[in-house]
Amino acid sequence: MEFLNDFLTWAWARHHNILSWYIRPLFIIPFVYFAYKRSWKGMLLTIIALITSMFWFPAPASVDPTVAQFLEVEKQYLLGPWTVQKIFLSLTVPAFFFLLGLAFWKRSWTWGLVVINVAALGKIAWSVFEGGESGWAILLPAVLGMVLCDLAVYFGVRWLSHRKGPQAQTA
């Protein structure tokens, strides 16, 4: 059990590196690609990469106080008592991946974009609601990630429509 505690402490220190906050939303792009290609293995590998990405970067030499405060709120939220509301809210994460995968598996670009944008805006809303002022620390990574994912989907749709013709733009 000590090994697990040491590992979690090591990983948590690296989660304070803001670079991991910026790359995490970008994992939506390969997830969408693999869902479109109907590859369960690719989707699963992308989720594993996403989960582990929080500790890919070294622990920062100094941490922005707002980031530290928000991460403390996040930690207290996760370690606090689990209510029905918290369980329901936590189930939105697997629901997001299910709905995102389903949308692109079924080639519904419109619904895929709706899922991406609702999730990003929901993450921002939850962060500000739970973290107060410190919750705004995730605004730039979340919005930038959302915009990049939206652009990737847009250009993916355009590329496929030029490659396959008008039938590729199913909504």
Residue 154 sits in which domain range? 2-168
Place of tokens 């910026």: 22
Token readout for 73 is: 């709120």
- 110, 144, 32, 108 alpha-carbon torsion, rounded to 10°: 0
Give mean pLDDT in consecutive 10-residue pieces for the chain, a chain of 171 residues. Answer: 88 89 93 97 97 90 92 92 94 97 96 98 96 94 96 93 66 54
| pLDDT (0 to 100) of residue 8 | 86
Question: How many domains does the chain fold into?
Answer: 1
DSSP secondary structure, 72-107, as one string: HHHHHHHHS---HHHHHHHTHHHHHHHHHHHHHHTT
Measured distance CA(148)–CA(42) in Å, rounded = 20
68, 107, 156 from 160: Cα distances, Å: 43, 11, 6
| pLDDT (0 to 100) of residue 170 | 54
pTM of the shown model: 0.87
| pLDDT (0 to 100) of residue 46 | 97
